[in-house]
Structure 1
Amino acid sequence: MANMLTTGISGLNAAQIALTTVGNNIANAGTDGYSRQTVTQVERISQQAGNFTIGNGVDVASVQRSYSQYLTTAMWSSNGSLSRASTFNDLTTTLNSVLSGSGDMQGSLDSLYAAFSTVANAPSTSSARQSLLGDAASTATMFNTLGQQMQAQQSSVNKQISSTVDSINNATSAIATLNKQIKQLGNGAMPNDLLDQRDALVNQLSGLVGINTVSESDGTLSVYTTAGQTVVTGPSSFNLKATPDPYDATRTNITDSVGNDITTKLSGGALGAMLDYRTTVLDPAQNALGQAALALSSSINAQQGKGLDLNGNLGAPIFSVGSPAVSSSSKNTGSAVIGATISDVSATTSSDYIMTYNGASWGLKTTSGQSVALTSNPDGTYSADGMTFSVSGTATAGDSFKIQPTRNAAGSLSVAMTDPSNIAAAAALTTTAATANTGAAKVGSVNVTDPANAGVLAGATISFTSPTAYTITDAGGATIGGGAYTSGQPITANGWSVTLTGTPATGDSFGVAKNSNGLNDNGNALKLAALSDSGVLSGGKVSVVDAYANLTTQIGSAGAQAATNLTTQTALHDQAVSAQQSVSGVNIDEEGANLVKYQQSYQASAQVIAAAQTIFTSLMNAIG
C-alpha cells in the first residue's frame, strides 16, 4: 500500500509542477524575450517483485526552456541588420528632407545666370545690376542654409553616437551581471528566467552594434564586436568610449577599453549605421555642396576679373568664400603650421586629406587611406589635387594635419560686392586690325588670362615680320614678346591672349587696347551668363548646375537604396523571429490543452491517493 500511496503522491507532485509551468507560460505569453518552458518527467526505478516489477511513480527531471541557440543567434544577427537599415534609412530621409525643404537651389542658380543675361541686354541699367546682386545674395543664402543644416545633422549624429555608446555599455554591464549570477548557481542549474533576461539583453545589444557571441562551459556568455573587441567575458564588461576626433573636437569617435580608436572597424546595429552614414553619405554630401559653392565663386570671380566695370576698372570679386580648413592633430608635438589655398578649382575633389610628416618628408592621403601625389614647388610650397600648401615652423615625426578643402565653403559663401556699378559687364580688351593690312589674317578672340598683370590694359601692337613670325611691342615701343605664328594658336603677352585666324602678310599689325566702350559693351556679361553651361569641376567637365544636380541625385540614390534595404531587412527579420518563436514562443491554444491534461492528471493522482487511503482504512478496520 505504501507503493500505491507513494506513486499517487509522485504523480500529484509532477502534475502540480506541470500545472505551475503551464500557468507561467500563459502568464508570460506576451512577455518579450520569454522562452516557453516544458516539464521533463522520468519514470522512477521499479521495484522487483518475483518474476515481475511494480511501477514506483514519476519524478520531474527538469523544467527546461524550449530553445534553439542557432535560431536565437540568427534572430540576433537579423535584429542587428534591421536596426542598421532602419537607422540608416532615418538619417538619409532626414538629409533628403533638408534638400527639399531648403528652397529651390537649382532655380536659384538658373536665376543668377539669367540675371547676367539681363545685364548683358542692358549693361548700363542700374536696376538690372542691382537685381543681379540680389540674386547672388539669394544663392549665397541658400548655400549657407544647406551648409548649416548639414552641419546641424553632423552635430546630431555625433550626439546620437555618444548616446548609443552609453546604451551599449549599460547593456554589456547588465549581461556581465547576469553572467555572474548564472555562474554562481553552478553548471547543473537551469535558471530559465536569468537566461531569458540575458538573451533579451543580447538581442537589445545586437540592435545597437554588430556582435558575435560564444557560450562558455561555465554557463556564461562572452560577447565580442564584429571588429573583434571583447565587451563581455564572464562577470566582466569592457566599456567602449565616445571620444573627440584628434583633428576635430566636435566630431565623435569610438575607442575600446584600452584607448584604441576603433571607429572605422565597427559595423552593424544603429551605431554601425551612424558611423557608416557619416562617412559614406553626410561627409561626401557636405564636401560636394562646398565644392559647388567653391566652383560658383571661383568661376564667376575669375570671369568677372576679365571684364571692365562702369568705372573702367577690371572687375572685383562678386563672391567671397572661406579657405580650406586645416586642423592639426591633438597628438602633434612639433610647432609646424600648415596653410592651404585653392589653386585650381577644376582639380579639386570632394575628399578630405591627412598630411603627415615622417621625419624626413611630407606625405598626403585621403581620409579613406588612398595615397595622393604631393608635388614640391620651387618656392617651398607643396601642391596636390588643386591645392597649394605652405608649411611654417618645425614638424616632428608623426605630426599630421587634416585638410578639408570644401567642407566649410557652402557655409562661408557670401556676396563681397555692394556697388552694382562694379559688375564687369564689358569686355576688358579690344583688338583691331591696322587699315593698311593686306593679308587674310583676322581677329578670332581676345581674352584676359591674368588680371593681376600690371600691363594687361596698357595696350600693345602685334607686328608680323613675315607671314609666320611676329613681334609684340608695348605702347612705348619696347619689345615685350614675339615668336612663330600658327593660325588659330594664341598669341600671349602681359596677361592677355589673342587668337588670329588666316595668313597675315609681312608688315601687317594688330592693336590690343583697353575697351573704350565699357559703358555700353556686354561682352563679359555674356560670358558670365554662359557659365551656367561651362565646365568648372572635374577638369572642366562639370558645371556648377550639374554639380548640384549630381549632389541631389547622389543623396536621393542613397535614400532609395536605404529604403529598399530596410524593406528587405524587415522581411528577413520577420522570418528569423517567426522561426525562433516557432520553437520558443508560447502557443495559448497548446498551453490551454496542456492545462486540461495536467489538471486531469492531478485529479487522477489524487484519486489514487484517496483509493490508497480507503484501502488502508478498510484494512485497519478489519484487523481491529
Structure 2
Amino acid sequence: MADLLSTGVSGLLASQVGLSTVGHNISNVNTAGYTRQTTTFNARAPQYYGGMYIGQGADAISVQRSYSQFLTQTMWSATSSQSRALQYAAYTSATNNAVSGSANLQSALDGFFGSVNDMANAPTDTASRQAMIGKANTLVSTFRSLSSQFQQIDQQTNQQIGSAVDSINSLAQSIASLNGEIQKAYAGGAAPNDLLDARDQAISQLSAIVGVNATENSDHMVTISIGNGQPLVSATNAVKLSTAPNQYDSSRLEVVGPSGSVISNQLGSGSLGAAFDFRTNVLDPARNQLGRAAIAMEDAFNKQHAQGIDLNGDPGGDFFSISDPAVFNSTTNKGTASMTAKVTDVGKLGASDYIVRYDGTKWGVTTTDGTVVPSTGTGNPGPPADPIVIDGLAITVPGGTPQAGDSFQIQPTRNAASTISVAISDTNKIAASGPLVATKSASNTGKGVLGGLTVTDINDANLKTPVVIQFTSPTTYTINGGAPQTYTDPGTITGNGWTLKLSGAPAANDTFNVNPAASASGDNGNALALANVANKGVLDNGVTTVGKSYSQLIAQVGTAGAQANTALDAQQSILDQATAAQQSLSGVNMDEEASNLLRFQQAYAASAQVITTANTIFESLLSAVRG
C-alpha cells in the first residue's frame, strides 16, 4: 500500500522547489535579461493495491524558462535598429549644433561684406580699411572654427568606432565562454537557465552595437555572425576584430576582420553601423560643402581684387589664400608615382571626393562610392601639360612610375575651410580703386552723365591706354579720333577690356576720358565690385553664391537631422512593441509571483500536515501493539 509518509514528503519537496523558483524570480525582478522560470510537476507512478491504483505523491521534474526564441530574436533585431537610429540622431544633432551655433558663418559673411561696403564709402580711409581686414579675419576664423568642430566630431566618431570594436571582442569572447559552460551544464541532463539568460543578454548587448544573426546548434551552443555574414562566434571560439587606418586617410579608422580585410561597409545596423553611415552620408558631405564655400569665397574675391589698384598704385594681389586639394596615396601602392591636384574652375567644382586608379595603361576616375567620372587627359605635367580634368579639377602626375592597381584619393574641398587665411595685413594693399577712372570734361555743355565703368578683361594689353571719347554730335562719337560710332541714350561704350555706361544727351564737342587710376586714388570702383561678390553666383556654373552655399549646408545637415529623429521615433516604437511582447512571456510579474508564493506556501503546509497525520497514525499503531 502507498506510504502516506513518503507521499507527504514528496509534496513537501515538490513545494519546496516551487517556492525556491518563485523566490528566484522575485529576487531577479530587476535583473537585466532575466527570464521568468517555472517549475514543472509530475505525479509519481501509482501503486496497484486491492484492485485499484493508489497515488504516491508528486515530483518536481524541471525548472524551465518562459522563453520564445522568435520573440527574443525579434527584440535583438529591434534593439539593433533602435541603437543605430539613436546613435545616428546623436551624431546629426552634434553636426546641427556646429552649423547653427555661435560660430555662424552667415553672420560672419554679412559682417565682412558690410565692412567692404563701408570701405567703398571711404576708400582711402585707413580706419575703414583696417576694419575690413579685421572682419576678414573674423570670417576666416569662423570658417576654421566650423571646420574644427567637424573635425572634432570626426575624431569622436573614430573613438567610438574603436570603443565599439573593443566591446564586440569582449562580448564575443564572453558568448564563446558561455557556449562552453552551457554545453557542459546540459551534460547533467537539465537546462542551465541562468547561463542561457546570461548568453542571451550578451547577445542583446552585442546587437546594440552591430546587427547579429544567432543560430542555436544541436549541441546547445550558438553560432554568431554580424553585419552581412562576418563570422564572430563558433562554438567556443571567438573571432577578434580590430581597427586600422584607412588606406588613404590615416586619420580615419576602419574595422578589419581576422584576415585583415576591411569590413566597415558590411556592419549594417547597431551603433557601429551608424558611425560609418553618418561619416559617409552626413559628416563628409557637410565638411566638403563647407570647404566648397571657402574655396568659392577665396576664388571670387581674389579674382575681383586682382582687377583693382591699391593705394600704392599696384594691381591687387590675393586677398585670401587657401590650400590646394588634398591628395592621399594608397598604402597598397606598389609604384613610385605621386599626384597633385588644383582647382581650375570653381563653377564646376562639386562636393565629391574621388579615387584615381591606374589600370596599367591609363588613369581612371570614380567617386568614393564607385560612380565612374568622365575625364580627359593623361596626367602629364608637361611640357606640353596634359592634366586629367574632372569637375573643375586639374590632376597631374609630376613624377614616378605607377603600377597597375595603384590609386590615389583626392579630397578637393575637405580641408579648404581649415586652411583659408587672410593674405594681406597692410591696409594700403587693399585694391579698392578700379584700374581705370572715367571723367567728363568740365567744359561739356550737354547733359551726358557718366554711369559705371566695368573692367571686362583685366588681361587686355591695351587696358591702361588713355582714351578720349569725343562726341561729334548728340548721337555720334569717336574714340581717340577713330571712326565715328553711334550713341543711343542710354548707351554703353566699349573700349580695350572695359565698358562705360552713359545716359542723357551729350552735346557736340563734349568729351569723356578713361585713364589709368593713379596712386592713392579715391576711386571706389573695385571696392563696389568687391562688395557685390556677396551677390555673385560662383558655384554650380555661376548659379550659387557663397552665402547660398552655406544655406545649402544648413539645409543639408538640418534635413539629415530631421530624418534621423523621425527614424528614431519609428525604431523606438518598434523596440517598445518587441520588448512588450517578449516581456509579456518572459518578464517577472510580481502579482503573479505573489500568488504562486502563496499557493506553494499553502501546499507546503498541507504536505507537512500529511506528514504529521502519517506520524500520528504510526504512533497509534505502535500504542495498539504495545497494549
Query: What's the TM-score bracket when you normalise by the shorter of the two chains?
Result: 0.7 to 0.9
Contact 1:102/1:142 (<8 A) preserved: no
Task: Tell me whether 1:386 sits opposite 2:392 in the alignment.
Answer: yes
Within 5 Å, which residues of 2 pair with 1:609-624?
Answer: 609-624=611-626
> In structure 2, do the counterparts of structure 1 residues 456 and 366 end up closer, same or farther at CA, with 3 Å as the change threshold?
farther
- Structure 2 residue identity aligned to 1:401: F
Within 5 Å, which residues of 2 pair with 1:431-580?
Answer: 446-449=454-457, 451=459, 457=464, 496=497, 514-515=516-517, 519-580=521-582
User: C-alpha displacement at 1:100, in angstroms?
Assistant: 3.4
Cα distance in 2, alignment partners of residues 444 and 525 from structure 1: 13
User: C-alpha displacement at 1:51, in angstroms?
Assistant: 4.0
Cα distance in 1, alignment partners of residues 554 and 216 from structure 2: 47
Cα distance in 1, alignment partners of residues 349 and 133 from structure 2: 27
User: C-alpha displacement at 1:398, in angstroms?
Assistant: 0.8
- Structure 1 residue identity aligned to 2:393: M
- Structure 2 residue identity aligned to 1:553: A
1:418 is matched with 425
Which range moves more in the overlay, 149-158 or 553-562?
553-562
Q: Deviations over 1:217-269 (max 9, x none)?
A: 11111111121101111111112211111112221001112111111221211
1:199 is matched with 200
Cα distance in 2, alignment partners of residues 402 and 177 from structure 1: 43
Cα distance in 1, alignment partners of residues 462 and 337 from structure 2: 38
Contact 1:102/1:146 (<8 A) preserved: no
2:79 is matched with 79
User: C-alpha displacement at 1:14, in angstroms?
Assistant: 0.7
- Structure 2 residue identity aligned to 1:68: S
> In structure 2, do the counterparts of structure 1 residues 456 and 398 end up closer, same or farther at CA, with 3 Å as the change threshold?
farther
Contact 1:430/1:446 (<8 A) preserved: no
Within 5 Å, which residues of 2 pair with 1:159-170?
Answer: 159-170=159-170
Cα distance in 1, alignment partners of residues 273 and 500 from structure 2: 58
1:403 is matched with 410
1:137 is matched with 137
Q: Deviations over 1:283-337 (max 9, x none)?
A: 1111111111111111000111112222222211110111110111111111100
> In structure 2, do the counterparts of structure 1 residues 334 and 513 end up closer, same or farther at CA, with 3 Å as the change threshold?
farther
Cα distance in 2, alignment partners of residues 278 and 56 from structure 1: 70
Contact 2:437/2:517 (<8 A) preserved: yes
User: C-alpha displacement at 1:196, in angstroms?
Assistant: 0.6
Which range moves more in the overlay, 366-375 or 113-122?
113-122
Cα distance in 2, alignment partners of residues 297 and 161 from structure 1: 35
> In structure 2, do the counterparts of structure 1 residues 587 and 157 end up closer, same or farther at CA, with 3 Å as the change threshold?
same
Cα distance in 2, alignment partners of residues 63 and 251 from structure 1: 51
Contact 1:290/1:406 (<8 A) preserved: yes
Which range moves more in the overlay, 190-199 or 258-267?
258-267
1:595 is matched with 597
Cα distance in 2, alignment partners of residues 333 and 4 from structure 1: 89
2:238 is matched with 237
1:24 is matched with 24
Within 5 Å, which residues of 2 pair with 1:120-159?
Answer: 120-159=120-159
2:225 is matched with 224
> In structure 2, do the counterparts of structure 1 residues 594 and 137 end up closer, same or farther at CA, with 3 Å as the change threshold?
same
Contact 2:112/2:135 (<8 A) preserved: yes
TM-score, normalized by length of structure 1? 0.88
Cα distance in 2, alignment partners of residues 141 and 112 from structure 1: 12
Cα distance in 2, alignment partners of residues 454 and 227 from structure 1: 65
Within 5 Å, which residues of 2 pair with 1:1-400?
Answer: 2-49=2-49, 51-186=51-186, 188-376=189-377, 379-392=385-398, 393-400=400-407
> In structure 2, do the counterparts of structure 1 residues 601 and 443 end up closer, same or farther at CA, with 3 Å as the change threshold?
closer
| RMSD, matched Cα | 3.1
- Structure 2 residue identity aligned to 1:541: V
Contact 2:313/2:520 (<8 A) preserved: yes
Contact 1:431/1:446 (<8 A) preserved: no
Cα distance in 2, alignment partners of residues 370 and 489 from structure 1: 48
> In structure 2, do the counterparts of structure 1 residues 446 and 526 end up closer, same or farther at CA, with 3 Å as the change threshold?
closer
Cα distance in 1, alignment partners of residues 81 and 493 from structure 2: 61
Cα distance in 1, alignment partners of residues 284 and 333 from structure 2: 24
TM-score, normalized by length of structure 2? 0.88
User: C-alpha displacement at 1:517, in angstroms?
Assistant: 8.6
Cα distance in 1, alignment partners of residues 451 and 227 from structure 2: 69
Cα distance in 2, alignment partners of residues 220 and 586 from structure 1: 26
- Structure 2 residue identity aligned to 1:375: T
- Structure 1 residue identity aligned to 2:308: G
Contact 2:334/2:403 (<8 A) preserved: yes
2:606 is matched with 604
- Structure 1 residue identity aligned to 2:576: D
Structure 2: unaligned runs, 5 residues or longer: 379-383, 442-449, 470-478, 483-490, 503-511
Contact 1:223/1:231 (<8 A) preserved: yes
Contact 2:34/2:197 (<8 A) preserved: yes
Cα distance in 2, alignment partners of residues 179 and 196 from structure 1: 12
> In structure 2, do the counterparts of structure 1 residues 449 and 400 end up closer, same or farther at CA, with 3 Å as the change threshold?
farther
Cα distance in 1, alignment partners of residues 22 and 294 from structure 2: 68
Contact 1:33/1:200 (<8 A) preserved: yes
Cα distance in 2, alignment partners of residues 431 and 519 from structure 1: 12
Contact 2:453/2:525 (<8 A) preserved: no
- Structure 2 residue identity aligned to 1:277: F
Q: Deviations over 1:455-484 (max 9, x none)?
A: 65467999xxxxxxxxx99xxx9xxxxxxx
Q: Deviations over 1:94-142 (max 9, x none)?
A: 2222233343321210121122222222222222222111111110011
Contact 1:164/1:271 (<8 A) preserved: yes
